Structure formats: structure tokens, C-alpha cells
Amino acid sequence: MSNLRKEIEKRRTFAIISHPDAGKTTLTEKFLLYGGAINQAGSVKGKATAKHAVSDWMEIEKQRGISVTSSVLQFNYDGYCINILDTPGHQDFSEDTYRTLMAADSAVMVIDASKGVEAQTRKLFKVCVMRHIPIFTFINKMDRDANDTFELLDDIENELGIATCPINWPIGSGKEFKGVYDRNTRKVMTFADTLKGTKEGSEKIIDIDDPSLVDEIGADKKAQLDDEIELLDGASAEFDMDLVTKGQLSPVFFGSALTNFGVETFLQHFLQMTYAPMARKSDMGEIDPFGEDFSAFVFKIQANMNKNHRDRIAFMRICSGKFTAGMEVYHVQGDKQIKLAQPQQMMADERKIVEEAYAGDIIGIFDPGIFSIGDTLTTAKDKFRFEGIPTFAPEHFARVRLIDSMKRKQFVKGVPQIAQEGAIQIFQEYKGGMEEIIVGVVGVLQFDVLKFRLENEYNVEIRLENLPYEHIRWIENKDEVDVDNLIGTSDMKKIIDMKGNPLLLFVNAWSVGMVLDRNEGLVLAEFGTN
């Protein structure tokens, strides 16, 4: 038992969130570099460094230089075992990000120093606040000309409504970026070049009162730093671990992921400030992570990670106990015992078979098509389910037409497989069959991904016809109302999802209220749950 406790206490699981292009994937790479998982870090745009980022593995990601699916990376550093969930920054893939946040214990928010808080960061941040998870802020790209540092902090506080506490402080920015000052140790860290960030840089640590500091950073920078420190000590929020844990105070760090400035110090502080995996809510109360019984939930399904094999991997977050390869667990939603076959840990598309894993870890299990997002797996005698993961309402809809009817079989197989990953949602005409399929997505870029993947992975060409609907509602009480004879509006359409639940589509938002008025007792919901 003591070994179990020790292993779980070493675990840290966090998600990295940001607006597109703030440098999230690059930061992930640098963490791996320090963890010894890769010895040369790539960058997403990759010119000077011709390697693509490790966490971008899908063909379309390499082509467009964006991350479209969340990847899971694990490495060891300084006696800790760290699981990073890298999430897509692009807003069209926010659905995947929301779900990923369900599997993390804390979040690292990456902000571009020249832009401050951007739209997508706001959305993701709301989800973190909803879950009360600790948020750490890394203000990136200090190697470029940045906004005023105090303004950046104000921006975070005003936009996101969270207090900030800078742990370190930048000296200059752009070409003038000299290093960072650690407020706790009162030392300045200066950096040497890191061959465009591909190698760990050499750094010098100088005491703030050491006269040689002036030679290193220049007299004007030293005078500015002294003024700013004075201002900080008087004005910024006190560091309070309790508030950090509740998600009400965000520790802020500065650096440049591209050149490796400040990344390792961030990682060290982060590990000191975060906790081992926390208890998770279920319908039988909280589940203790240190309990003997194994339990996990599925938060993501990914098909065809290996081009040569049509495979599906269910990613699960272990919430309690220990996992061993080949163990038998009870699948609550499927109501049967199953053997967890081919367990894997990921380094994006590189996999290794795992023999054992512990609460806090993320593992991928081969899925023969039985898992759905939100499923609970456990070995406990008293069966329970973890709370469901919300499905977000799609905002764009299109009818899918098959160009070559001979490819029907591949089509009927491919579309549901991609849908089970949760990026797209598929619906059918009410009382219709698979002939007519309507696809709903959160962002229009998902349509491109669907077309691209059907062509490349299933050899199926499709034509998409955009539909005018923008609003969707789930019928909560389908057993109590006569769905066949609902009194609708002219812009309403009845559809069903893959589980056979009836839904309504509307072109105009006001039609939703009219339908509720016309059908007494009807209950509609904006979110479904998996």
C-alpha cells in the first residue's frame, strides 16, 4: 500500500490552454526537453528547426501548423511523473479542449506577451473556473517586443476576473530581454543563446545586490528593475497557496518558450505548488485516489492514430488505485466485465505498451467500439459512475452527401467512428435512416477535417451542403411528450442523435421560446451529457 501511495503522490496531471499561436505546443516541447523525453525540441512552424512538434501527429496538423486534437504526453522530471494534456488552441476545436480539462488537475494558461488575453483564452478559462481548478499563467514570447508588464497583469485581472501574483519578473523584452528576476530568492537569472531554443541554454544566477549585475544587464535596466520591484512589493497580491488551489489566484511566470528562457524555473515552481491527484465526484460521493480499487473514466476517443491499422484508442484518466496490463474491470455503461487490452502511453503518435499506471495517469486502451466519452470503469464492488462530461451544442450544421454510392459501406463505418471521437456530432432525419446524415460542429474548420479524414483514412469523398440552422435543443422529457405531434415553427426541424434521442433544430433563437409556449410541459436543454 505504501508503494501505491508513493507512486500516486509523484503524479502531476495538467492541461495547457491558450489562444492559437500563443506558443503552447512549443512550451510543451520544452518541458519534454527538460524531462529528457526528447533531446531536440521542434517548433510548430519549424523553419530553423526542421522537426515538427512531437505533439502534432495528424497529417492536417503538420500541413496547417495548428493542433487539432489533444495529445497526451508523459515524462519524468526531478522525481515527479508528469502527464501533460496539450489541447488544441484553435477555437473550432474547443469541444476537445473542454473535455480534456475534465481529465486535468490543474491548468497552465499560456499568454502571448504582445497580445495579452485573447478570446479563446477567455472561453477556456471559464471552464477552469467552473471546475475550480488551479490556474498557472506563463506569459510567453518575451523574446519579442512585449506589452508593458503591469498592463499585462491588469489585463488578466480585468478580463478573467482572477487575481495575479507574479513569481518572477522580466527584465526588458524583444532584443532587450535580459532574463528574469525571482522575487522569492531575490536573484536574477540571465541566459545564453540556446541555438534557437533547440538545446538547454546555459544560465547565470546573480544576486540582485551583486555589483556585477549592472555589467550584465546595463545600468538603465538595473534602475528600471529596482523601481518595478518596489512597485510590485507594494501593489501585487500576496502569494496564498489556498487561493491558488481554489482557482482564485494565478501565479504568473515570464519567459520565452522559443528560446527556453524561464521554462525550467516555471516547471520547478509549478511542481512545488501543485498537488497529487485529487478525489473525483461520482454518484456515490467522492472517490479517494489512494483507494485500492482501480477506477477511471473515458474522456476522449481517437480513431486511426495508426494509419496501417484501423484502430481506435479510448483515452482514460485513472482516478484511483493502480492499473496493471490485462486486468479485468467492470464497464459501468456497458454493464459487463471487460479485459483492458493493449494499454498504451503516448508520446503523441509514438506509443509504448504500459505494464502499470496509477491514479493521475492517462492511458490509451484499444477500443473495439464499446466505449463512449464519459464511461466509467472500475474494479470496486459497489458500482458507481463518475459525473458525465458535458456535450456542447454544435453551432454549424451541414447535410452530408456521398459522391460515390459504391462507397456506402466505408461511409457508414467512417462517419460514426469520427463522431465517437466527439469532434463532430451526427444526427439523422427524424424517422429517417443513415441515408440522410446531418453533421453538427462547434467550429466550421471541423467540416474541413471531416472531409480530409474521410478521404484520407476511409477513401470516401463527400459533398457538404450547409444548413441554415444555428440552434439545437435536446428534448429532456421525451417519454412524457408526444414528439411525433409537437407543434413547431416553420424554421424547426426534428432530428435524432445516434442514441435515438430526439432533438430540435432552429434557424432563429426566438423560435425556441415559441415552441416551448405552444407545447405545454415540453422541457428543452442546451447541453447533452455523455
- Asked if 14 and 40 count as a contact pair (C-beta separation under 8 A), the reply is no
Centroid of chain to Cα 123: 12
Whether residue 340 contacts residue 378, with contact meaning beta carbons closer than 8 Å, is answered with no
CA distance 274 to 83: 13
Residue range(s) in the chain whose domain bears CATH number 2.40.30.10: 280-378
CA dihedral over 114, 117, 120, 124, signed as positive or negative: positive
d(CA 268, CA 136): 13
Low-confidence ranges of the chain (pLDDT < 70): 1, 35-71, 87-97, 119-120, 123, 191-203, 303-311, 341-353, 390-392, 422, 433-435, 527-530
Angle of helix 24-34 relative to helix 263-273, nearest 10 degrees, comes to 80
CATH 3.40.50.300, the chain: domain bounds: 15-65+107-273
The answer to whether the Cα torsion of 225, 227, 232, 233 is positive or negative is positive
Residue of 303, 274, 188 lying closest to 15 (CA atoms): 274
Strand partners, 344: 353, 364
Computed on alpha carbons and rounded to an integer, the radius of gyration of the chain in Å comes to 25
Q: Output the pLDDT for position 40.
A: 37
Judge residue 466's burial from the number of C-beta atoms within 10 Å of its C-beta, 0-12 exposed, 13-18 middle, 19 or more buried.
Answer: exposed
Chain centroid, CA 221 distance in Å: 38
DSSP state, residue 131: H
In sequence order, what E strands does 63-178 have? 71-77, 80-86, 106-112, 135-140, 163-166, 168-171
Q: How far is CA 466 from CA 48, 391, 438, 441, 444, in A?
A: 41, 22, 10, 11, 10
pLDDT of 237 reads 75
Whole-model pTM: value is 0.74
Separation CA 78–CA 82 (nearest Å): 10
The Cα angle at residue 268 between residues 264 and 271, in degrees rounded to 5: 135
**b/e per residue, 363-401, with b = 16+ CB within 10 A?**
bbbebeeebbbbbbbbbbeeeebbebbbbebbebbbebe
What number of residues does the chain have?
530
Taking the C-alpha atoms of residue 117 and residue 209, their distance in angstroms, rounded to an integer, is 34
**CA–CA separation, 43 and 14 (whole Å):** 21
CATH superfamily ID and name for 280-378: Translation factors (2.40.30.10)
- What CATH code is assigned to 390-529? 3.30.70.3280
Reading the block at residue 22, the C-alpha cell is 500563443
Domain(s) of CATH 3.30.70.3280: residues in the chain: 390-529
Rounded distance between C-alpha atoms, residue 161 and residue 157, angstroms: 5
| Residue 28 grid cell | 510543451
502/478 Cα distance (integer angstroms)? 7
pLDDT of the residue at 100: 79
Contacts of 405 (CB under 8 A, 6+ apart): none
- The structural architecture, per CATH, of the domain 15-65+107-273 is 3-Layer(aba) Sandwich (3.40)
Residue 351 has a pLDDT of 58
Residue 286 cell numbers, joined: 467522492
pLDDT at position 424, please? 81
Question: What confidence score (pLDDT) does residue 212 get?
Answer: 79
